[in-house]
Amino acid sequence: MATQTAEDGGAIRIMSVLEMRDVTKKFGGLAAVSGLNLVVEPGELLGLIGPNGAGKTTVFNLITGVYKPSSGDVLFQGMRVNGLRPCRIASSGICRTFQNIRLFKQLNVLDNVRIAAHLHTKANLLDSILRNNRLMTNDRELTEFSLMILRSLKLEDVSDQRSSDLPYGLQRRLEIARAIATKPRLLLLDEPAAGMNPQEKVELMELVRSVRRDYQLTILLIEHDMRVVMGICERIYVLDYGELIAEGKPEAIRKDPRVLSAYLGE
């Protein structure tokens, strides 16, 4: 595993996008994640799978600063980010979607995306109040940019619908659109295909593949259904009861006895 970072000196290596070093998160007595080591390399599409309650979402919450690790470190592009507030981590280039959809419900689709795009605003609050040229130009650019993202996720036809009025599948897609609008380096998708039928799941995975290419993203994808990730991820981490039980290529994971028993014993 390429666990070295730039600080190792020695041979020149591309710095990992994300590195979790021996990360543990305890809730009371329960260790939701224990001693996790995880590395995401640039450009990877990485899967994180495991039965329900394995600690997958907790891993995302640890990366994005919602929770602080009980011990261990989270490094993003070689910099420690544990302890930073979620908004700081988001602006440094990590963005996520939520397993239980968290859209800005009363706002329309375009505004949901524009809120995420605000990270690239060059206008300050005073510009907003004065509504000066800088604000107008800047907001127009952000709107164009947001519409471009909606177009590439095939959401442009619903751009002025209230986001809570969207059908479930489109809400999931809007979550992805919104996360992309922050222009992340690392995109975290938490069960983006949850609640979909097999056909929709295939379509969604296609979409993930295409946004990854179009926006040059590194993606870490949580999925409960093992079959879905097998087809799309190059490398997979398997969690069970907060512990890493396997890591490797899909073919190897498929045959791994510990993985099989974790899933069968579910």
Token reading at 254: 């498929």
Residue 161 touches another protein, criterion: CB under 8 A: yes
Residue 67, Cβ neighbours under 10 Å: how many?
Answer: 18
Residue 103 touches another protein, criterion: CB under 8 A: yes
Closest CA to 208 of 179, 236, 243: 179
Beta strands in 191-230 (DSSP E): 218-223
d(CA 193, CA 39): 23
Binding segment for ligand ADP (CB under 6 A), chosen from 45-53, 68-76, 101-109, 111-119, is 45-53
The item of ligand ADP, Mg ion, another protein, none sharing an interface with residue 54, based on CB under 5 to 8 Å by kind, is ligand ADP
The item of ligand ADP, another protein, Mg ion, none sharing an interface with residue 58, based on CB under 5 to 8 Å by kind, is ligand ADP
Residue 119 touches another protein, criterion: CB under 8 A: yes
d(CA 94, CA 166): 26
Residue 117 touches another protein, criterion: CB under 8 A: yes
Token reading at 108: 């329309």
Buried b (16+ CB within 10 A) or exposed e, 39-51: bbbeebbbbbbbb
The item of Mg ion, ligand ADP, another protein, none sharing an interface with residue 32, based on CB under 5 to 8 Å by kind, is ligand ADP
- The DSSP 8-state label assigned to residue 5 in this structure reads -
Question: Hey, is 64 helix, strand or coil?
Answer: coil
Residue 185 touches another protein, criterion: CB under 8 A: no
Token reading at 15: 């710095």
Nearer Cβ to another protein (112/218) = 112
Residue 66 touches another protein, criterion: CB under 8 A: yes
d(CA 97, CA 176): 6
Cβ contact 55:99 at 8 Å: no
Binding segment for another protein (CB under 8 A), chosen from 7-15, 111-119, 213-221, 237-245, is 111-119
Q: Mention every residue, 6+ apart, whose C-beta is less than 8 A from residue 255.
A: none
Site of tokens 């260790």:
31
Nearer Cβ to another protein (52/106) = 106
Q: Exactly one of 20, 44, 49, 56 binds ligand ADP (CB under 6 A); which one?
A: 56
Write down the least CB distance from residue 102 to another protein, Å: 4
Closest CA to 56 of 255, 237, 262, 258: 237
Q: Exactly one of 128, 209, 224, 245 binds another protein (CB under 8 A); which one?
A: 128
- In the complex, which residues of this chain contact another protein (CB under 8 A)? 64, 66, 85-87, 90-91, 95-96, 98, 102-108, 110-111, 114-119, 121, 123-125, 127-131, 133, 135, 138-139, 142-143, 147, 156-161, 178-179, 182
Binding site for ligand ADP (CB under 6 A): 27, 32, 50, 52-58
